[in-house]
């Protein structure tokens, strides 16, 4: 099976957002934190990317004070609550090849720890060493507990109403792991897949440190050139003994060490 792994280059990737209201619209950007994609046999596609909700920028407001006030409001609990939920995620759950360079995609979008399915199309231009992925996701903010001035929850809003849907125009540039390895001499790239069980930052850091120490000890590799990626898998997406982990947990199964 021909499998190719790609890592998103966050600096070269962009997300442009557009939000609309009765009296007009606002637009800006939001940053990509990281992402990975896997192509199998040139057709099957899986992957995930992470959005940094603390990086929202507004491009259509030139006055610095007004711009800062708006940015702070978007970061507040009325919208993304970025301090409590600094990351949002999109994970591909199913793909079907369509026309050349086009896929029909089903995925899970998570904002403020609330997950809902999203259907979209994904354009991919891929070479051996790079992949450029483009898509547009239309988000109904009210599904993610973003209710501010929504007609679903408030009446008599008049021209202060903000429409529920906003657009994310996504442009991701990814590089093949093999290509990155050529750029940095024999760089170990280790992928760890674990169940999503509220691993905090300290626990993840400890896991990364221990794996790096093992690679240094056993393989004699420079820890500064060792890359470790932790992918957290939802219970519904992990199977064991013929059942989803979520089902096994309902039956009393535990992943805790005994």
Classified as helix, coil or strand, 238 is coil
Sign of CA dihedral 209, 212, 216, 218: positive
8 Å CB contact between 48 and 231 = yes
What is residue 180's predicted lDDT score, i.e. its pLDDT?
40
Q: Residue ranges per domain, the chain?
A: 3-178, 184-250
Cα separation, 255 vs 136, in Å, equals: 37
| pTM greater than 0.85 (yes/no) | no
- SS3 of residue 143 by DSSP: helix
Residue 198 CA, distance from chain mean position: 17
Q: Would you call 117 a catalytic residue per the annotation? A: no
Active-site annotation holder among 86, 97, 117, 188: 188
Reported CATH class of domain 184-250: alpha beta
Residues of the chain with pLDDT under 70: 1-2, 41-43, 178-187, 198, 254-258
**Bridge partners, 87 (sequence order):** 52
Question: What is residue 153's predicted lDDT score, i.e. its pLDDT?
Answer: 96
DSSP string, 53-85: EEEEEESS---HHHHHHHHHHHHSTTTT-TTT-
Contact partners, residue 47, CB within 8 Å, separation at least 6: 6, 35, 36, 37, 38, 91, 92
Task: Locate 110 and state its tokens.
Answer: 């998570």
- Please report which helix (H) or strand (E) contains residue 169, including its range: strand 162-176
Q: Where are the alpha helices (DSSP H) in 113-193?
A: 177-183
Supply the pLDDT for residue 171. 97
pLDDT at 257: 57
Please state, in angstroms and rounded to a whole number, the distance separating the CA atoms of residues 2 and 15.
30
Domain 3-178 has CATH 2.40.128.110: yes
Can 3-178 and 184-250 be said to share one CATH topology? Answer: no
Please tell me the predicted confidence (pLDDT) of residue 79. Answer: 97
CA–CA separation, 219 and 242 (whole Å): 35
b/e 214-249 (16+ beta carbons within 10 angstroms → b): ebeeeeebeeeebbbeeebebbeebeeeeeebeebe
Q: Supply 173's token pair.
A: 């540039």
84-102: string of b/e by CB count within 10 Å (b at 16+)?
A: ebbebbbbbeebeeeeeee
Helices (H), the chain: 64-75, 177-183, 201-219, 245-250
Q: Is 236 helix (H, G, I), strand (E, B) or coil?
A: helix
């Amino acid at each position: 099976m021909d499998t190719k792994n790609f890592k998103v280059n966050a600096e070269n990737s962009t997300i442009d957002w557009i939000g609309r209201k009765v009296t007009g619209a606002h637009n800006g950007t939001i940053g990509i934190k990281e992402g990975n994609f896997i192509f199998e046999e040139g057709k099957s596609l899986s992957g995930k990317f992470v959005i940094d909700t603390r990086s929202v920028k507004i491009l259509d407001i030139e006055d610095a004070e007004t711009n800062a006030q708006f940015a702070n409001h978007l970061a507040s609990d009325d919208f993304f609550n970025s301090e409590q939920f600094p990351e949002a995620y999109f994970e591909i759950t199913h793909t079907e090849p369509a026309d050349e360079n086009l896929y029909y995609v089903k995925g899970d979008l998570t904002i403020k720890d609330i997950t809902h399915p999203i259907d979209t199309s994904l354009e991919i231009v891929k070479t051996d060493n790079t992949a450029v992925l483009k898509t547009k996701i239309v988000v109904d903010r009210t599904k993610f507990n973003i209710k501010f001035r929504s007609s679903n929850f408030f009446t008599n809003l008049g021209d202060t109403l903000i429409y529920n849907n906003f657009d994310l125009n996504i442009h991701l540039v990814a590089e093949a792991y093999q290509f990155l390895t050529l750029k940095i001499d024999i760089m170990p790239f280790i992928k760890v897949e674990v169940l999503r069980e509220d691993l905090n930052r300290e626990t993840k850091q400890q896991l990364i440190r221990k794996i790096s120490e093992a690679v240094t000890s056993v393989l004699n590799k420079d820890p500064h050139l060792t890359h470790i990626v932790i992918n957290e898998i939802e219970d519904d997406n992990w199977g064991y003994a013929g059942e989803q982990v979520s089902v096994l947990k309902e039956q009393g199964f535990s992943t805790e060490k005994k």
